[in-house]
Structure 1
Amino acid sequence: MLLVCPAGNLPGLTAAVDAGADAVYLGFRDQTNARAFPGLNFSDADLRDGIAYAHARGRKVYVALNTYPGPARLPQWQAAVDRAAESGADAIIAADAGVLAYATRAHPQLDRHLSVQGSATTQAALRWYHEHFGIRRAVLPRVLSVQQVERVCERSPVPLEVFAFGSLCIMVEGRCQLSSYVTGQSPNRHGVCSPASFVRWQDEADGSRSVRLNSVLLDVYGPGEAAGYPTVCKGRFAVGGEVFHALEEPTSLNTLPLLPRLHAAGVTALKIEGRQRSRAYVAAVTAVWREAIDRLLRDPAGWQARAEWSAALSAHAEGRQTTLGPYHRSWH
């Protein structure tokens, strides 16, 4: 079971590798990846340095080209595939069929992983991508119950990767219609659900703080109350005479309690979300999952989640809360 960790920049890559990641995933400084905003991502020189650092320690580097180019911009994504291959990356992570087709034709030796944004949740979908583009791995969307993950693993033609820790998405991965409606910008190519230029914080007379995305009031925080990341889906809204988190609470996915079950199901890789997060986040979260996986592999029968692991992960979670999300859903 491999541990795949985020690298928003070169220091993040070295932190992930040093903390025990088997592979890191990253993106270029453009809209070919779903975290395209200032201060993140890799130049060609940084990518070469990062790959050299990872390969010298026996680790792998995956380049995320996981956005949808649109009808007039496919050449930019094709050039990004070329750059990834020429840099010595171990794989690309892509969702768009045109990008996958180009990579298959132009760089057949470069492994192709199906992105979570491909939204493949069935054996039939996975088989289609495998037959047409020779994908070597697929990342499952964060909408399946653990029973559904187990069933897909039983018959999948390719190894599967699942998200283990980090932010949740309640929309089709990376294509949030709520954010697009409020800001006019698709989070698929603009790198973030709530672009900073649209976020407005305001200190109120009673000591509270309000936050708006464009003109939409997302939340009001009382004095001393911890503020969450300002996304539409995690705002508090007035519904039926009550004000509450009508769609989703500020919380992070944490599948640590399910680790033995995911391993038994045959999940090949666990993915940590967070290319936009700090080097400290990457190092701390990677270290916890590295220890947990290693202990499981050494002693599957005696493994149990440790309280200090959960505490460390909660300290880096949104709202300092964690959830199993759809994994624990009883209905299918």
Structure 2
Amino acid sequence: MQLVCPAGNLPALQAAIDAGADAVYAGFRDQTNARAFPGLNFSDDELRAGIRYAHDRNAKVYLALNTYPESARLQDWYAAVDKAAELGADAIIVAEMAVLDYAARTHPNLPRHLSVQGSATTAPALRYAFERFGISRAVLPRVLSLQQVERLCEKSPVALEVFAFGSLCIMVEGRCQLSSYVTGASPNRHGVCSPAKFVRWDEHPDGSRSVRLNGVLIDEFTPGEAAGYPTVCKGRFEVGNEVFHALEEPTSLNTLELLPRLKQIGVAALKIEGRQRGVAYVSSVTRIWRNAIDQVIASQAHWQPKPEWQAGLSRHAEGHQTTLGPYHRAWH
């Protein structure tokens, strides 16, 4: 299984590859990728250097061109496809059909991966993208159970990539209506559910903290309490006479214990979420997953996740909590 890791900037790209990533995914410094906000992503020169660094170490670089363009600006996405091909990217990750069609027609030798934002959760959807746009891989949304992933592995005409560790999302991937309602900004093209300019943290005399998104109070934390990302879905709300996480608790997906099963059913690649995270996160999480994958390949029958691996991942988890998410459904 290929280990695909996040690269929000050149130091993160280098850290991921040094820690054992087989491939990294990155974006241009514009709205063609779903993490477009200040301080993140690559200039042309940085990306050229990053691709050279990766290729010198037998690693690959995938370019995320995974947002949905406004029709009047579609040419910007076409230009990004041209640039990815020119710079020598190993694949592009695309959601929008017009962009996939352009890439298939103009750069047929540039591999095309269907983005998680393409929301392909069925075999017919995967078959359509393969037959119409020639995709070679699809990234599955984080809403499928393990049994559903297994059935797709049996029927898919292309290799499948799944998220292994990182943030969860209760919405259709990357298109949150809750946050866009509160901020007026599209998470798809503005880089994040909660753009920094809308977030305000307040420290109180007793050591507690509160966080507001565009003036809307979404959570309060007691002194020393671990805080999740300041997104609407992970806030606490008053419902009836209770205050609780009405939509989703701050927690991170962690599929480490499923690793032998994911390998057995034929998953081709494991993706680590977090291009917005720092170099320490990328380096630590990549190293743990590299060790785990290498050891499950070497001794699958007797493999068990090591406690120190789980402890290391928990330190980087949102709210210091992890979950199997939709992969595990007791009722399924």
CA RMSD of aligned residues (A): 0.9
Letter in 2 for 1:213: L
| Cα separation, 2, equivalents of 1:280 and 1:202 | 26
Letter in 1 for 2:116: V
Please state how far the C-alpha of 1:203 moved relative to its aligned partner: 2.7
Letter in 2 for 1:141: P
Please state how far the C-alpha of 1:227 moved relative to its aligned partner: 2.1
Structural mapping, 1:220-231, within 5 Å: 220-231=220-231
Contact 2:37–2:192, Cα closer than 8 Å, also in 1? yes
Structure 1 residue aligned with 2:143: 143
Structure 1 residue aligned with 2:310: 310
Structural mapping, 1:236-255, within 5 Å: 236-255=236-255
Structural mapping, 1:113-128, within 5 Å: 113-128=113-128
Contact 1:145–1:330, Cα closer than 8 Å, also in 2? no
Please state how far the C-alpha of 1:205 moved relative to its aligned partner: 4.8
| Cα separation, 1, equivalents of 2:288 and 2:205 | 42
Contact 1:3–1:22, Cα closer than 8 Å, also in 2? yes
Structure 2 residue aligned with 1:16: 16
Deviations 1:185-208 (A, max 9, x none): 010000011011111222335442
| Cα separation, 2, equivalents of 1:52 and 1:307 | 36
| Cα separation, 1, equivalents of 2:330 and 2:67 | 32
Please state how far the C-alpha of 1:265 moved relative to its aligned partner: 0.7
Structure 1 residue aligned with 2:329: 329
Please state how far the C-alpha of 1:170 moved relative to its aligned partner: 0.6
Determine helix, strand or coil for the equivalent of 2:226. coil
Residue 301, structure 1, aligned to residue 316, structure 2: no
Contact 2:165–2:252, Cα closer than 8 Å, also in 1? yes
Letter in 2 for 1:312: G
Residue 288, structure 1, aligned to residue 279, structure 2: no
Letter in 1 for 2:27: G
Deviations 1:37-95 (A, max 9, x none): 01110000011100001001111100000000011110000000000000000000000
| Cα separation, 2, equivalents of 1:314 and 1:226 | 12
**5+ long unaligned stretches in structure 2:** none
Determine helix, strand or coil for the equivalent of 2:63. strand
TM-score normalised according to structure 1 size: 0.99
| Cα separation, 1, equivalents of 2:304 and 2:224 | 35
Please state how far the C-alpha of 1:228 moved relative to its aligned partner: 1.9
| Cα separation, 2, equivalents of 1:294 and 1:223 | 40
Structural mapping, 1:25-44, within 5 Å: 25-44=25-44
Structure 2 residue aligned with 1:200: 200
Please state how far the C-alpha of 1:246 moved relative to its aligned partner: 0.8
Letter in 1 for 2:95: A
| Cα separation, 1, equivalents of 2:144 and 2:123 | 13
| Cα separation, 1, equivalents of 2:203 and 2:266 | 50
| Cα separation, 1, equivalents of 2:204 and 2:306 | 42
- For these two proteins, the number of residue pairs brought into alignment is 332
Contact 2:116–2:141, Cα closer than 8 Å, also in 1? yes
| Cα separation, 2, equivalents of 1:226 and 1:124 | 42
Determine helix, strand or coil for the equivalent of 1:225. coil
Structure 1 residue aligned with 2:66: 66
Determine helix, strand or coil for the equivalent of 1:301. helix
Determine helix, strand or coil for the equivalent of 2:108. coil
**5+ long unaligned stretches in structure 1:** none
Letter in 2 for 1:238: E
Deviations 1:69-123 (A, max 9, x none): 0111100000000000000000000000000000001100100000000000010
Letter in 1 for 2:297: L
Determine helix, strand or coil for the equivalent of 1:73. helix
Structure 2 residue aligned with 1:152: 152
| Cα separation, 2, equivalents of 1:202 and 1:283 | 31
Please state how far the C-alpha of 1:331 moved relative to its aligned partner: 3.9
Deviates more, 1:177-186 or 1:225-234: 225-234
Please state how far the C-alpha of 1:145 moved relative to its aligned partner: 0.5
Letter in 2 for 1:225: E
Letter in 1 for 2:282: V
TM-score normalised according to structure 2 size: 0.99
Structure 2 residue aligned with 1:112: 112
Deviates more, 1:309-318 or 1:216-225: 216-225
Contact 1:23–1:60, Cα closer than 8 Å, also in 2? yes
Contact 2:226–2:320, Cα closer than 8 Å, also in 1? no
